[in-house]
Chains A and B, each alone.
Chain A
Amino acid sequence: MYNFTFHRPTTVRQAAGLLARNPDGKLLAGGHSLLPVMKQRLAQPSALVDLSLVEGMTGVELKGRSVVIGAMTRHADVANSQVLKDVMPGLAAVPGSIGDPQVRNRGTIGGSIANNDPNADYPAACLGLGATIITNKRRIAADDFFTGMFSTALEEGEIIVKISFPVAKKCAYEKFKHPASGFALVGVFVSKRGPDIRVAVTGAGSNGVFRVKSFEEALKKRFSPKSIEGMSIPATGMNADIHASPEYRAHLVAVLARRALAKANA
């Protein structure tokens, strides 16, 4: 690890100011992706701006017809939130599937979304529920937020403050874990909120999280595994590595979508 300066602001405004003064700086929001690459000397931020003491950035709240989660809320706290379990257990299951207890007690929803790892779980939930990412500057629809592998619509100095998830009557997440890392080799989040039907896939695509419009279309008739029986998605555009071929990933998308639908209807 190279030397860096360490800052612990207590307000979002201070944090943004520190980022502006440290163009090579990075926000620390759990650090499970950032710290390992720093330790391996693959990243060299001049400053770390730790968000853990910033006020008002944690908690899970039901606000009208949305669940609003502070960006610095740890995975374990989201997974165990009674509010969330009551209104949308399908979303609570997403952080519950991340990593191991140590990771879940450090990692945060904002950190995960801002990093947009193509195998991360939360992006599927955001896209699969049509969440709104609320920053210190604006509100961004999930459909516009995830712009590709490790890339987002966030601008320089922009900090995610909270994420607002509309409550969906039916939703579920199915994940096939990467055997080594425990990330999603493929993860599928499905939801139905009135006429809005979403199928979002993480892990599989070579360009990060994406929606399966053909499945969504087919599910408009009936939100049921039967509606997409026999359907598949093309292997082109799927990731290829030693752990899975594009064909296998494409196949898993359909399998997991059916399983998620069954779970959402259960």
Chain B
Amino acid sequence: MSATGIGASVRRKEDFRFITGQGQYTDDVTRPGETRAVFVRSPHAHAKIRSIDVSAAKKMPGVIDVLTGAQLATDKIGNLICGWMIHSKDGSPMKMAAHPALASGKVNCVGDAVAVVIAETIAQGKDAAEKVKVDYEVLPAVVDPAKAQAKGAPQIHPDIVNNTIYQWHLGEKKDVDAAFAAAKHVTRLDIVNNRLVPNAMEPRAALADYDAGTDNLTLWNTSQNPHVARLVISAFIGMAPEHKLRVIAPDVGGGFGSKIFIYPEEVVCLWASRKVKRPVKWTSDRSEAFLTDAHGRDHVTHAEMALDANGKILALRAKTIANLGAYMSTFSSSVPTYLYATLLSGQYNIPSIYCEVDAVYTNTAPVDAYRGAGRPEATFVVERLVEVAARQMGIDPADLRRRNFITAFPHQTPVIMAYDAGDYNASLKKALEIADVKGFAKRKREAARHGKLRGLGYSTYIEACGIAPSQAVGSLGAGVGLWESAEVRVNPTGSVEVLTGSHAHGQGHETTFAQLVSERLGIPFENVSIVHGDTDKVQFGMGTYGSRSGAVGMSAIVKALDKIEIKAKKVAAFMLEAAEGDIEFKDGKFTVAGTDKSAAFGDVALNAYIAHKFTGAELEPGLKETSFYDPTNFTFPAGCHICELDVDIETGKVDIVNWTAVDDFGTIINPMIVEGQVHGGIAQGVGQALMEGAVYDKNGQLVTGSMMDYTMPRAHDLPSFHVGLTETKAPSNPLGMKGCGEAGAIASPAAVINAITDAIGTENIAMPATASAVWTALQKSQAPKAA
């Protein structure tokens, strides 16, 4: 291993510009003549728009135009769409309601945009926005997914009966029912997977610039996948032909899924820029972000697990209602279906599984993928059931897991997934050692002496990453293929640029991707640049989400590098006057086998461009190769997290004292970056378990609309993590990588809740388990025995 190659903890190249304030985010980009968009948003969760009067607003100082949904329709700007088709049990397609970028006739959630003011400055835009008179007829709202389908519930979209988008299922119901009928033990749980607000550090932003001379549109935006944004905005929204629209996602400050989607604001900025013939910029403020970024999770589930007398799992069934909010966001339909129910087998050999999912509309912000997307929800269901079953049956929770682990690969689960590699016993064993579970009883007694109830919780999670084989997802309803592209450009001086369709918004691609190239070509790490996020530079790409940039994005780079080597060997053959088959490439040097003749990589690169030594038309000059890589399977990162915590008996406050994470991510390029991803993921998962929760009141007002009411995890809420690794290579990609971006967020909520319920002796507690909630639960459970 070289100091900058695969496996080295190289410091992140990109951090210098980020921590010195030199990053270029969308809001940092300015265009001459730039105007600002200010949105007029609905203060009501559900209302008819009787009329909109923009006349006073138009007369305000600095106002260039005020636009509404009616003009959007006149200009034939298409609706936002959800790109993944789900069919209900009865075969009918999902019911997708119209989602215009500016509301037309009706608003369906607080924050729904009804008009936009284009002004010289934000302050002038805001002044004018206050003068837009919207006459609303307020309607009753429904926010609770469990109530959305009830008779008499407010109907949100015309013709979508009972607000039901689809009633989907997966698995064999009759096998499951039979297994339950014969089971010795059944564990049942009601679970709410709480709604989360993503809160990326950089709020969403869009800057649209129409060039009347060329009729080209350029959009800078905070996107995790600029090419997909361009495709959707062209093909479905009809803003401009694909070749007349350029999308640039420059530095992006965090996404966690929330920046995958196509949002109304970027559509409106593009449209408005063409109308006013000036650049139009919008940057969300934090209040808008709370209201309009796609939220995460929000499932209500009843789940059951059947076991035999020895604790062997026989079957699992779950009925989930998934809240998709007021409109179907870009990939919302896939999250509670194929990203959720397909993971309900966990790390366990479960003969039969049946899951039903109803997706519903409510008068709340749209819900879509958020770090983990469906897989945290599945892990929470499985890991809570296993833990409670173990306690009910008097079996050690680690042991019950061990009895049910899948140990032979490949393993076909009853819910689509074919696990290809893993060693779940290894990660559990290592975690038990690191967490010193043997010494737990002693630590628990010691904690009791200080008025604390100590608890221990496991989460042996699995996820499907490396999203995804195009054929597989196509058969499941995806509107796109999920391959990745890479182009490797070797310059005449031997430096290298990699153009990737992956997109970094905190992951450190500029470092890890360069490590791969440095190792593979034997050239200095500093001689490699990673280019991403611009549809004019990168031919196409599917972007970054679902822990796919390593397993899929880097695999595409590997394939392109393979082609570079083949071509470079041809060049070297001419230079060294040898047969192509005799050329060997190692450590950045081309040699003729069995001789001392050699050429350095840089010399070969130069010769590829000057082409002085090439004879005739046998070899094209240049050294640049492209590859599109489509994975053959998902990857299956898995591991074991153990949370040890104290509950203050008097206040209910939870203090996490120890966290052990042992993960199997396959091959690791940069351990430091991987560890950082694990830390961040755990922090978000702990946030969900203990603090975060978006709350709407019955009128559909977001009660947790700011950092003063929505609790984000802070550094002091978390202990120093004990991170360990085990490794089984992913067989489906050339590097053997599995992905690490979501694991922490997937694993950790169940570990926390298992530990709290262990500490306080209750079966269940809802997330977020705030001090107040834990204290309330303690009052209801039998008087805790501290000593």
Q: Which residues of A are at the interface with B, using a C-beta cutoff of 8 A?
A: 1-2, 40-41, 176, 179-181, 242-245, 248, 251-252, 255
**Chain B residues numbered 113-134 whose CB sits less than 8 Å from any CB in chain A:** 123, 126-127, 130
B703 an interface residue at 8 Å Cβ cutoff? yes
Chain A's closest residue to B697 (CB) is A242
Chain B residues, Cβ within 8 Å of A242: 695, 703-704, 709
Is the pair B771, A179 in contact by a Cβ cutoff of 8 Å? Answer: yes
Given contacts A179-B691, A242-B703, contact A255 B709 (CB under 8 A): no
- Say how far A229's CB is from chain B's closest CB, in angstroms: 12
Given contacts A242-B703, A245-B772, A255-B651, contact A180 B126 (CB under 8 A): no
Chain A's closest residue to B650 (CB) is A255
Is the pair B770, A179 in contact by a Cβ cutoff of 8 Å? Answer: yes
Complex Cα gap A255–B652 (Å)? 11
Pick the most buried of B126, B704, B772, B776: most chain A CB atoms within 10 A of its CB.
Answer: B772
Is the pair A252, B651 in contact by a Cβ cutoff of 8 Å? Answer: yes
Q: Which residues of B are at the interface with A, using a C-beta cutoff of 8 A?
A: 123, 126-127, 130, 287, 650-653, 691, 695, 703-704, 707-712, 770-772, 775-776
Is the pair B709, A176 in contact by a Cβ cutoff of 8 Å? Answer: no
Given contacts A180-B709, A242-B695, contact A1 B123 (CB under 8 A): yes
Chain B's closest residue to A39 (CB) is B285
Is the pair A181, B776 in contact by a Cβ cutoff of 8 Å? Answer: no
Is the pair B708, A248 in contact by a Cβ cutoff of 8 Å? Answer: no
Given contacts A180-B710, A243-B770, contact A40 B287 (CB under 8 A): yes
Complex Cα gap A1–B704 (Å)? 22
Which listed residue, B653, B707, B712, B772, touches A243 by the CB 8 Å rule? B772
Is the pair B703, A41 in contact by a Cβ cutoff of 8 Å? Answer: no
Is the pair A180, B772 in contact by a Cβ cutoff of 8 Å? Answer: no
Chain B residues, Cβ within 8 Å of A251: 775
Is the pair B775, A41 in contact by a Cβ cutoff of 8 Å? Answer: no
Chain B's closest residue to A183 (CB) is B708
Is the pair B776, A180 in contact by a Cβ cutoff of 8 Å? Answer: no
Taking A40-B287, A242-B703 as given, write out 5 further A-B residue pairs in contact, using a Cβ cutoff of 8 Å, ordered by the A residue number: A41-B126, A179-B711, A180-B707, A181-B709, A255-B651
Complex Cα gap A43–B710 (Å)? 22
Which listed residue, A2, A40, A244, A255, touches B772 by the CB 8 Å rule? A244
Complex Cα gap A2–B123 (Å)? 8
- Say how far A216's CB is from chain B's closest CB, in angstroms: 21
Chain B's closest residue to A181 (CB) is B708
Complex Cα gap A179–B707 (Å)? 10
Chain B residues, Cβ within 8 Å of A1: 123
Complex Cα gap A179–B693 (Å)? 12
Is the pair B772, A248 in contact by a Cβ cutoff of 8 Å? Answer: yes
Chain A's closest residue to B649 (CB) is A255
Is the pair A248, B775 in contact by a Cβ cutoff of 8 Å? Answer: yes
- Say how far B199's CB is from chain A's closest CB, in angstroms: 12
Complex Cα gap A1–B691 (Å)? 31
List the 3 closest pairs (A to B, CB-CB), nearest first. Answer: A180-B711, A179-B711, A181-B708
- Say how far A44's CB is from chain B's closest CB, in angstroms: 11
Chain B residues, Cβ within 8 Å of A243: 709, 770, 772
Given contacts A1-B123, A41-B126, A242-B695, contact A176 B710 (CB under 8 A): no
Chain B residues, Cβ within 8 Å of A245: 772, 776
Complex Cα gap A242–B776 (Å)? 13
Chain A residues, Cβ within 8 Å of B691: 179-180
Complex Cα gap A1–B130 (Å)? 12
Chain A residues, Cβ within 8 Å of B772: 243-245, 248
Chain B residues, Cβ within 8 Å of A40: 287
Chain B residues, Cβ within 8 Å of A244: 772
Complex Cα gap A41–B285 (Å)? 13
Chain A's closest residue to B710 (CB) is A180
18 A-B pairs (CB sep. < 8 Å): A2-B127, A40-B287, A179-B691, A179-B770, A179-B771, A180-B711, A180-B712, A181-B707, A181-B708, A242-B704, A243-B709, A243-B772, A244-B772, A245-B772, A248-B652, A248-B772, A248-B776, A255-B651
Complex Cα gap A248–B650 (Å)? 10
